[in-house]
Structure 1
Amino acid sequence: MRIGYACLAIGVPHTKMKRCLMKNATVPRLMELTWHNLNALENLVNYNIRTGIQLFRISSNLIPFGSSPVNQLPWWDMYSSWLQTIGHKIKASNMRVSMHPGQYTVINSYNDDIVQRSIDDLNYHARVLDCLGLGPEHKLILHIGGVYDNKQAAMDRFIANYGRLPKGVRDRLVIENDDKSYTTGDVLAISEKIHIPVVYDTLHNLVNPGQVGKNDAEWIASCQRTWHIWDGPQKLHYSQQAPGKPPGAHCDSIAVGEFVHFINTIEHQDLDIMIEVKDKNLSAVKCMAAINMLNS
Structure 2
Amino acid sequence: MILRLGYVSIALSLWEASPSRTLTFTNWSKLDERSRKEKLHYLTEQNLKNTIRIIHYNIAHGIDVYRMSSSLVPLATHPEVKWDYLTVFRTQFKEIGRLVKKYNLRVTFHPNQFTLFTSPQDHVTTNAITSMVYHFQMLEAMGLHKDATINIHIGGAYGNKQEAIKRFNRNFAKLDQEIQMQTTLENDDKTYTVEETLQVCEQHGIPFVFDYHHYRANSRDEVFEDLLPRIFATWKGTEKVPKFHLSSPKSEKLFRAHADYVDLDFAIPFIKALQTYGKSADIMIEAKAKDKAALKLVEDLSKIRGFKRIKGGAIEL
TM-score interval (norm. to shorter):
over 0.9
- By how many angstroms is 1:257 displaced? 5.0
Q: Confirm or deny that 1:243 pairs with 2:246.
A: no
Work out the CA distance in 2 between the residues paired with 1:70 and 1:224: 42
1:266 pairs with 249, 274, 278, which one?
274
The answer for the alignment partner of 1:12 in structure 2 is 14
User: What is the distance in 1 between the residues matched to 2:222 and 2:268?
Assistant: 22
Helix, strand or coil at the partner of 1:230: coil
Q: How does 1:121-160 map to 2 (within 5 A)?
A: 121-160=131-170
CA contact (8 A) 2:108 2:150 kept: yes
Q: Secondary structure at the match of 2:189?
A: coil
* Contact 2:208–2:231, Cα closer than 8 Å, also in 1: yes
Larger RCO: 1 or 2 (CA < 8 Å, sep 6+): 2
Q: CA deviation at 1:10?
A: 1.2
- What is residue 208 of structure 1 aligned with on the other side? 218
Greater mean alpha carbon deviation, residues 239-248 or residues 89-98: 239-248
Partner Cα distance (1:147, 1:209) in 2: 16
What's the counterpart of residue 292 of structure 2? 282
| TM-score, length basis structure 2 | 0.88
Which residue identity is paired with 1:59? S
Contact kept, 8 Å, 2:49 with 2:92, in 1: the verdict is: no
Are 2:257 and 1:252 aligned?
no
Q: Contact conserved, 1:200 with 1:220, CA < 8 A, in 2?
A: no
Aligned 8 A contact 1:64 1:71 in 2: no
The separation in 2 between residues aligned to 1:70 and 1:44, in whole angstroms, is 31
Report deviation, 1:29: 1.1
- The amino acid that maps onto 2:173 is G
Aligned residue in 2 for 1:220 = 228
Equivalent of 2:184, from 174, 178, 183? 174
- C-alpha deviation, 1:260, in angstroms: 4.5
With over 3 angstroms needed to count, the CA separation of the structure-2 counterparts of 1:290 and 1:34, relative to structure 1, is: same
Deviation digits for residues 28-77 of structure 1, max 9, x if unmatched? 21111111111111111111111110001111110111222243321111
Match of 1:295? 308
Matched-pair contact (CA < 8 Å) for 1:259–1:287: no
**Offset of residue 295 of structure 1:** 2.5
Offset of 1:213 from its aligned partner? 5.1
AA in 2 matched with 1:227: W
- How far did residue 183 of structure 1 move? 0.5
**CA–CA separation in structure 1 for the residues paired with 2:248 and 2:152:** 20
Name the count of aligned residue pairs: 294
AA aligned opposite 1:236? F
- State which of 1, 21, 25 in structure 2 corresponds to 1:22: 25
Whole-Å Cα distance in 2 between the matches of residues 99 and 251 of structure 1? 21
CA contact (8 A) 2:13 2:291 kept: no
Deviation at 1:189, TM superposition (A): 1.4
- 1-structure distance, mates of 2:248, 2:279: 20
Contact 2:195 2:222 in 1 (8 A): no
Residues of 2 paired with 1:220 and 1:3: CA distance?
19
5+ unaligned residues in a row in structure 2: which ranges?
29-35, 310-317
Partners of 1:137 and 1:159 in 2: CA distance:
24
The CA deviation at 1:135 is 4.4
Q: Shift in Å at residue 218 of structure 1?
A: 2.5
Contact 1:30 1:71 in 2 (8 A): no
Q: Is the 8 A contact 1:6 1:274 kept in 2?
A: yes
Which position in structure 2 is the counterpart of 1:88?
98
Amino acid at match of 2:254: P
Q: For residues 183 and 51 of structure 1, what CA distance do their matches in structure 2 show?
A: 35
- TM-score with structure 1 setting the length: 0.94
The answer to whether the 8 Å contact 1:256/1:286 transfers is no
Looking at structure 2, the residues matched to 135 and 182 of structure 1 have their Cα atoms a distance apart, in angstroms, of 27
Tell me what 1:229 maps to.
237
